[in-house]
Each structure stands twice: as structure tokens, then as C-alpha cells.
């Protein structure tokens, strides 16, 4: 790809180099030609160690043979594969660690063939998050307790298998119904009171009451209600846990609790009133590398530092110890620890005291969550954000900020240049007064975004500048907010991609059309024939291929020169379409050979063959007419090989082979004729 002008090329290289995504350019031989900063960071190599190496250096040994086959398949049919819908695979870093990744592939036609621009994203954290979510869902579903979700209006939104067993309603019967289906009439006012507590964000714990089964039987239950909040902290619903009162239910739940504690991905600790560790689950041992049971002496062996100020944590300063000694609850204190195997980790440490009915403390429960990987990802995101800020300040793009009435608050110099506004001062003016020809679809995007609809973008769009010129643009807009969360207006980003669009169209033309005749090339003809064969099998209408060769073409080049030969090919290319039907396709196969794909022929071969012969006769007559080459009159003949495609399964390569054999028969039979190949 050769962008017009050195400035554009520098911009593309800048965008490639500072992309937050790992990017590599791989040539047709599978060798790495370009590497950006993010790729160096992701794989642990210096770029000089990667350049010129086969791409398989970044693929685990066990996958390399398969990867070579995949690469060869892609080269044979290069199609773009976007990130997010692309292939997932395993990659390997320089230090030998393997990680799951997602890739996007963009084929780029170069003078040396098809190169591949490869984007790579590490999806380890996403995989771990998905696995954790599945574990939580499995825990809820396997619970013997009824776990029910409902809205603030009391409409049931989730209903687990425990709820089915306890209340006798199937999930389909309960979903969307009012919670009143399990509330006896005499307890309706109590339910309203619970909903009011929920709206205030109050937790309800172990409330003993009565509920009703589908068969009318009344059950003594203990229920707990926790508010469900949206991302802004607003209470939008409730999670209810109901447990049948009785020894059998308690025993079943104890067994389930033991299983949950064992499988819980969080470290769980139980302390006695003196702070002695009585129990720790497998996840706790995994986080710390070991468990040192005992009292304060053993607690001193646990090393930790407050993440905010780096101060070491003494034995009595751990949240669990504060819970049993002071009755103090702690939530998600960020602590850096040194595990017993010497590794450094960052955890969230929470602890709550266990209170007896008489108010005395009987112990505490502590929860540890390992967030080391999350903090690493946050750091990487911060670094990427910093890089993007540098890129945004240096990139030749246009940015403007608006209030809620779409009046300009600020606009960059590039914005005025991009929109053709010159040096005009537009701050304080309405965007719609400055640019009255803004299309209605853009105005609608502005309204949606101001209403809280989030980010809107378009990768390719047209814009009519005030001077009447039309440009291609890429744009994005998003709301900006005041500290109280209210939308204050919009930030709009726009980039002129006219040169890129023109270059893209040129690249597409070079990839699918012959540069001399402007006819479809071999690649596009093969694709068109593949489509024609598929259409033929569906409709029953036959199709055919004509392979046309200019007889004695070499003599033209030898006697009149290659310029005359090129002129002859161009004149033939102009004459051929006049011989064909509107549905037929003509293209240059290569050298002095042309191909015609005939569609919608008669269903019966005995009727289709005369159709082909008539078209072939017209082509021969038209191409036998004289040409002017190098100021001389020239007359030549052509030979045609025809291959009729019947209803049997046959790919395009086999059809072209049959047409080529038929062409050989035409030449052997005296030239200037059409011959059919064997079906």
C-alpha cells in the first residue's frame, strides 16, 4: 500500500506503531515484516528479534503444523476477518508462556503478493471472567434454597431449581408473574413492607414468615432480601433467598454450603473469637500458597502492605482480626501480599464479625479476592489510554465540543479546515447554523446521544462541504457529563478519509480487474463462475464457459511490437461485450486468452448447445473484422473452447480445464472455430 504523499504515509505508520492493539504485518511467505510497540509488549520480544522470522515463532509448538495449513488456506482465499468475530487461538510469548488470543486478519495486496495485517488481543482475563460467571450461575442453580429475582414492582425475573422444588411452580410458570403467587393473602401487607425496605436499600436477613406452594400448602420459611443495583448504584430489583425451616432443609443446605465453600473462587476464612484461624478453603490456600493455622503468632507470618500507602500490616491490623476484636466490618481493602511461595499479589480483603443473639462476638468470616491479574489489566489499559491521548493530540483529526443546544464550546483548527470553514470563529454559534446542510440522520444521532444513548460512530459517510465538494469522513460522537452525572453536551470527532477511500477503491480495482483491458481478471472470473454454478444448481438453468484464444498473437508482438499487441487486446476487450447478452460475463484470463461465462441457458443440453454455438459464431465474426495496429490494418482469427456445465457437482477449476481441452481441439482442427469439450 502506497498512500498518496509522504504525510499520509507517516500518518498510517504512526497509527500502526501506536495502536493499542498488537499489530504485525506478515508477507505471503509467512515472514514477519512489521511489528508495533504493543506487539513487542504482548509477546516479550524486541522487534529486531521478530522481523524476518516466520509467524509460527508466536504459535505454540503443538499448533505450528496446523497453523501453517491454516495460513496456506487463507492465502488461497484471503478474506478479512474482524476482531470480535475472528478466530481464537493460542499464542506463545518469548518466555514460553502460552495464552489464549483473538485475532483479526486484513489481506493487503502488494507488489509481492498478498500480505496480511494481523491484530492480536490477549483474552486471558475475559476467559477467566466467563469461567467465574459460569461457576456462580451453577452455584445458584444447584442451590436447595429458593433463589428468586424480582423487580421493585414484585415481578419475578429469575427462578432457580430450588424455587421449583420448594414452591411447585416450574420456571416457565413463575417467570413474569407477581411474587404474590407465593404470598398468602394475610401476608400481603408484610410483602409491601419488605418492598419498601428494599427501595430504601435496606437488607433483610433471616426473616421468618409463611409462604404458599402451588398446591396451596403453607410453608414456614426464612427469607433474606438483598437489593440489586444498576451501574449507577440505583436499586432496580431484589434477590430473595428462601429456606424451608426444619432439620432436613438445614442438613441439605449445610451439605450444599460445604460444596459451595469448596468451589468458591474466593478465599474464605473462618476465625474464632481470639482470631485463631479455624478454616480456610482451597481458594484461600491457592492465593497464599499455604495456610498457617493458629492464633496471633501465626498471623504474624502473613505479610501484607496497604496498597494505598505501602505501610506494612501488623498482625492485629488485618481486617479479620479487627472484626473479632472490635466488631468492625471491612469491605474490599486493597492489600499487596507476599504469599508463602514468595510471589507478590494484590488482594481485596473483606471481613465481617459473627454476632451472637446476646451481642457477643463468636468469630469472623474473611473473604480474599485475588485481583493481581485485574490490576495488571487496569495498568495496561491505563498505558493504552496514555498512548491514545498522545496519538489523539498528534493525529491530524478534527474535534469539537458542544453544549446541549449544539452550540460550539470549542473547536480545533483541524475542525475548521476539515469542514471548509477557514478561519471563521464559530464558538457560541449553533452547529446547525454553521452547517445548515447537515443530513437528518446526523441530527438524529445527536438527539439520541444527548438523550443518554451513548457513543455513536460511523466508519464511512459522505459530507457536503459549504463549498459544494463531497468528502468521505469517519466520525464518532459521545456525550460529556457534569460531575453530577448529567449530560452537558457532545464531543464530536471527525476524520477526512477521502484519500483512504480512493486508495481502497484503487486497491480493490487492482485486485479484481485487469489493468490493461479493465475487464474482470482471472480471480474475479473464478468467483463469478462459482456463483453461476451455484445458481445453476438451484434454478436448473445451465451455464457454460467459453475460452477464447487469439490465433497467432505472438506474431503481432514479434512483427509489430508489444504496443501493438496491447492495442489488439484492448480492441478485442471492447468488441466482446457487444457479442453477449446482458447476463453474460466477459474477462481476460491472461496473455491472449479471454473468458466468457454464459448464464441462464436452456435446461436441456440439446437446446443449450445451439445457444452457445450462436454466441460463439457472433464472437468469431466480430473478432475476425480488421483492426488498426501501429497505423496498419490487421485481420486475425480466434479459436474458442466451450464447456457446458451440467447439473452434476463440479467446481470452477474442472470447468476451465474442460474449456481448455476444447480450445485445443479447435486449434488442432484448423482454428477460427468453436469446439465443445466433453461434459
pLDDT per residue over 517-533, tens digit each?
888 888 888 888 888 88
- Consecutive H or E run containing 368: strand 361-370
Q: 637: helix, coil or strand?
A: coil
Phi, psi angles (nearest 5°) of residue 85: -125, 15
CATH topology of domain 6-122: Beta-Lactamase (3.30.450)
Cell of 209: 414468615
- Compute CA distances 388 → 37, 123, 307, 381, whole Å: 13, 20, 27, 10
pLDDT (0 to 100) of residue 2: 44
N-to-C CA span, the chain: 43
* Listed residue (421, 500, 381) closest to 11, CA to CA: 500
pLDDT (0 to 100) of residue 194: 84
> Cα(61)–Cα(92) distance, rounded to whole angstroms?
9
Q: Residues 620, 674: contact at Cβ < 8 Å?
A: yes
- Buried/exposed code over 300-337 (b: 16+ C-beta within 10 A; e: otherwise): eebebbebeeeeebeeeebbbbbbbeeeeebeebebbb
- Buried/exposed code over 138-158 (b: 16+ C-beta within 10 A; e: otherwise): ebbeebbbbbbbbeeebebeb
Phi, psi angles (nearest 5°) of residue 239: -110, 125
* Listed residue (121, 109, 153, 106) closest to 38, CA to CA: 121
> Cα(91)–Cα(55) distance, rounded to whole angstroms?
11
Q: Residues 638, 623: contact at Cβ < 8 Å?
A: yes
What is the DSSP pairing of strand 593-601 with strand 456-464?
unpaired
pLDDT band for position 596 (cuts 50, 70, 90): very high
Residues 6+ apart with CB under 8 A from 587: 514, 519, 520, 521, 522, 524, 525, 528, 594, 595
pLDDT, tens only, 311-353: 998 888 888 888 888 988 888 889 998 888 889 989 888 888 8
User: What would the mean pLDDT of 175-200 be, rounded to a whole number?
Assistant: 87
Is the predicted pLDDT of residue 614 greater than 90, yes or no?
yes
pLDDT band for position 114 (cuts 50, 70, 90): confident
Is the predicted pLDDT of residue 201 greater than 80, yes or no?
no
Q: Residues 614, 623: contact at Cβ < 8 Å?
A: no
pLDDT (0 to 100) of residue 278: 82
pLDDT band for position 675 (cuts 50, 70, 90): very high
Q: Where in the sequence of the chain do the CATH 3.30.450.20 domains occur?
A: 6-122, 128-259, 268-375, 396-499
What is the DSSP pairing of strand 235-244 with strand 267-271?
unpaired
> Cα(344)–Cα(329) distance, rounded to whole angstroms?
26
What is the DSSP pairing of strand 156-159 with strand 344-355?
unpaired
User: What would the mean pLDDT of 257-284 be, rounded to a whole number?
Assistant: 80
Residues 6+ apart with CB under 8 A from 459: 474
Cell of 206: 433471616
> Cα(30)–Cα(293) distance, rounded to whole angstroms?
56
User: What would the mean pLDDT of 571-577 be, rounded to a whole number?
Assistant: 91
> Cα(367)–Cα(280) distance, rounded to whole angstroms?
10
pLDDT (0 to 100) of residue 84: 58
> Cα(128)–Cα(377) distance, rounded to whole angstroms?
13
- Compute CA distances 431 → 84, 419, 672, whole Å: 35, 12, 68
User: What would the mean pLDDT of 86-91 be, rounded to a whole number?
Assistant: 74
Is the predicted pLDDT of residue 384 greater than 70, yes or no?
no
Which CATH code is given to the segment(s) 513-676?
3.30.70.270
C-alpha angle 484-489-492 in degrees, rounded to nearest 5: 130
User: What would the mean pLDDT of 210-229 be, rounded to a whole number?
Assistant: 88
pLDDT band for position 81 (cuts 50, 70, 90): confident
User: What would the mean pLDDT of 473-484 be, rounded to a whole number?
Assistant: 85
pLDDT (0 to 100) of residue 493: 83
Locate all alpha helices (DSSP H) within 333-371, ordered by sequence: none
User: What would the mean pLDDT of 409-429 be, rounded to a whole number?
Assistant: 81
> Cα(137)–Cα(160) distance, rounded to whole angstroms?
10
User: What would the mean pLDDT of 132-153 be, rounded to a whole number?
Assistant: 78
Q: 556: helix, coil or strand?
A: helix
> Cα(137)–Cα(261) distance, rounded to whole angstroms?
15
CATH topology of domain 128-259: Beta-Lactamase (3.30.450)
Q: Where in the sequence of the chain do the CATH 3.30.70.270 domains occur?
A: 513-676
User: What would the mean pLDDT of 155-183 be, rounded to a whole number?
Assistant: 91
Pick the CATH number of 268-375 from 2.30.29.30, 3.30.300.130, 3.30.450.20, 3.20.20.140: 3.30.450.20
Q: Residues 593, 522: contact at Cβ < 8 Å?
A: no
pLDDT (0 to 100) of residue 508: 63
User: What proportions of the chain, in percent to the nearest 5, are helix, strand and coil?
Assistant: 40, 30, 30
- Consecutive H or E run containing 270: strand 267-271
- Compute CA distances 603 → 138, 487, 535, 536, 539, whole Å: 58, 65, 13, 9, 9
pTM comes to: 0.33
252-256 long-range CB contacts below 8 Å, 24 or more apart? 252/144, 253/144, 253/145, 256/142, 256/143, 256/144, 256/145
Is the predicted pLDDT of residue 395 greater than 50, yes or no?
no
Burial of 365 (0-12, 13-18, 19+ CB in 10 A): middle
Is the predicted pLDDT of residue 373 greater than 50, yes or no?
yes
CATH topology of domain 396-499: Beta-Lactamase (3.30.450)
pLDDT band for position 500 (cuts 50, 70, 90): confident
Burial of 565 (0-12, 13-18, 19+ CB in 10 A): buried
Locate all alpha helices (DSSP H) within 123-266, ordered by sequence: 124-142, 161-167, 171-174, 188-199, 247-263
Is the predicted pLDDT of residue 389 greater than 70, yes or no?
no
pLDDT band for position 436 (cuts 50, 70, 90): confident
Cell of 258: 460445604
pLDDT (0 to 100) of residue 506: 65
- Compute CA distances 460 → 29, 39, 439, whole Å: 32, 28, 14
pLDDT (0 to 100) of residue 58: 93
pLDDT (0 to 100) of residue 142: 73
pLDDT (0 to 100) of residue 83: 60
Edge-first strand listing for the sheet containing 408-411: 408-411, 398-403, 487-496, 470-481, 456-464
> Cα(623)–Cα(551) distance, rounded to whole angstroms?
11
Instruction: Work out the percent of the chain whose per-residue pLDDT is above 70.
Output: 90
pLDDT (0 to 100) of residue 454: 82
Amino acid at each position: 500500500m502506497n498512500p498518496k504523499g509522504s504525510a499520509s504515509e507517516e500518518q498510517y505508520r504512526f497509527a500502526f506503531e501506536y495502536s493499542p492493539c498488537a499489530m504485525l504485518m506478515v508477507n505471503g511467505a509467512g515472514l514477519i515484516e512489521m511489528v508495533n510497540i504493543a506487539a513487542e509488549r504482548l509477546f516479550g520480544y524486541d522487534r529486531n528479534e521478530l522481523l524476518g522470522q516466520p509467524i509460527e515463532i508466536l504459535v505454540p509448538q503443538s499448533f505450528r503444523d496446523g497453523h501453517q495449513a491454516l495460513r496456506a488456506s487463507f492465502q488461497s482465499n484471503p478474506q478479512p476477518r474482524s476482531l470480535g468475530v475472528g478466530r481464537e487461538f493460542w499464542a506463545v510469548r518469548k518466555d514460553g508462556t502460552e495464552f489464549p488470543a483473538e485475532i483479526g486478519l486484513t489481506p493487503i495486496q502488494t507488489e509481492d503478493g498478498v500480505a496480511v495485517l494481523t491484530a492480536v488481543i490477549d483474552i486471558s482475563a475475559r476467559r477467566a471472567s466467563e469461567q467465574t460467571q459460569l461457576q456462580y450461575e451453577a452455584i445458584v442453580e444447584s442451590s436447595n434454597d429458593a433463589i428468586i429475582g424480582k423487580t421493585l414492582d414484585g415481578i419475578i425475573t429469575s427462578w432457580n431449581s430450588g424455587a421449583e422444588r420448594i414452591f411447585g411452580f416450574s420456571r416457565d410458570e413463575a417467570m413474569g408473574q407477581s411474587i404474590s403467587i407465593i404470598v398468602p393473602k394475610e401476608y400481603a401487607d408484610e410483602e409491601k413492607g419488605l418492598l419498601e425496605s428494599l427501595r430504601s436499600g435496606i437488607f433483610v436477613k433471616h426473616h421468618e414468615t409463611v409462604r404458599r406452594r402451588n398446591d396451596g400448602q403453607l410453608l414456614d420459611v426464612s427469607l433474606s432480601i438483598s437489593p440489586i443495583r444498576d451501574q449507577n448504584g440505583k436499586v432496580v430489583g431484589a434477590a430473595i433467598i428462601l429456606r424451608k425451616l426444619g432439620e432436613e432443609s438445614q442438613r441439605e443446605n449445610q451439605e450444599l454450603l460445604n460444596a459451595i465453600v469448596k468451589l468458591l473462587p474466593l478465599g474464605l476464612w473462618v476465625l474464632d473469637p481470639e482470631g485463631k484461624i479455624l478454616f480456610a478453603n482451597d481458594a484461600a490456600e491457592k492465593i497464599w500458597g499455604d495456610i498457617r493455622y493458629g492464633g496471633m503468632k501465626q498471623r504474624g507470618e502473613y505479610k501484607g502492605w496497604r496498597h494505598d500507602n505501602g505501610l506494612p500490616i501488623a498482625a492485629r491490623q488485618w481486617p479479620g482480626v479487627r472484626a473479632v476484636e472490635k466488631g468492625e466490618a471491612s469491605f474490599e481493602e486493597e492489600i499487596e501480599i507476599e504469599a508463602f511461595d514468595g510471589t507478590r499479589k494484590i488482594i481485596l480483603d473483606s471481613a465481617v464479625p459473627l454476632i451472637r443473639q446476646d451481642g457477643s462476638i463468636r468469630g469472623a468470616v474473611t473473604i480474599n479476592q485475588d485481583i493481581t491479574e485485574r490490576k495488571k489489566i487496569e495498568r495496561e489499559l491505563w498505558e493504552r489510554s496514555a498512548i491514545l491521548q498522545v496519538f489523539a493530540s498528534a493525529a491530524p483529526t478534527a474535534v469539537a465540543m458542544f453544549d446541549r443546544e449544539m452550540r460550539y464550546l470549542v473547536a480545533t483548527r483541524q475542525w475548521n479546515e476539515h469542514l471548509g470553514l477557514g478561519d471563521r470563529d464559530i464558538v457560541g454559534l449553533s452547529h446547525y447554523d454553521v452547517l445548515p446542510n447537515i443530513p437528518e440522520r446526523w441530527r438524529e444521532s445527536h438527539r439520541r446521544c444527548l438523550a443518554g444513548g451513548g457513543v455513536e460512530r460511523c466508519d464511512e459517510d459522505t459530507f457536503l462541504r459549504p463549498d459544494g465538494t463531497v468528502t468521505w469522513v469517519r466520525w464518532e460522537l459521545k456525550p460529556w457529563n457534569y460531575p453530577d452525572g448529567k449530560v452537558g453536551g457532545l464531543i464530536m470527532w471527525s476524520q477526512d478519509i477521502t484519500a483512504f477511500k480512493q486508495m481502497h477503491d484503487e486497491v480493490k480495482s487492482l485486485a479484481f480487474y485487469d489493468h490493461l483491458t479493465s475487464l474482470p481478471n482471472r480471480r474475479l472470473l473464478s468467483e463469478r463462475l462459482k456463483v453461476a454454478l451455484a445458481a445453476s444448481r438451484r434454478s436448473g438453468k445451465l451455464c457454460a464457459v467459453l475460452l477464447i484464444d487469439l490465433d497467432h498473437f505472438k506474431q503481432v508482438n514479434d512483427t509489430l511490437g508489444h504496443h501493438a499487441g496491447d492495442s489488439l487486446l484492448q480492441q478485442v476487450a471492447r468488441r466482446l461485450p457487444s457479442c453477449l447478452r446482458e447476463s453474460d460475463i466477459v474477462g481476460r484470463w491472461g496473455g491472449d486468452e479471454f473468458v466468457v461465462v454464459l448464464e441462464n441457458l436452456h435446461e436441456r443440453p440439446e437446446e443449450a448447445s445451439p445457444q452457445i454455438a450462436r454466441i460463439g459464431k457472433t464472437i468469431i465474426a466480430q473478432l475476425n473484422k480488421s483492426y488498426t495496429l501501429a497505423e496498419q490494418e490487421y485481420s486475425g482469427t480466434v479459436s474458442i473452447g466451450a464447456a457446458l456445465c451440467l447439473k452434476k457437482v463440479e467446481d470452477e477449476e474442472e470447468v476451465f480445464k474442460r474449456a481448455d481441452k476444447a480450445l485445443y481441439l479447435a486449434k488442432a482442427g484448423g482454428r477460427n472455430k468453436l469446439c465443445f469439450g466433453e461434459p
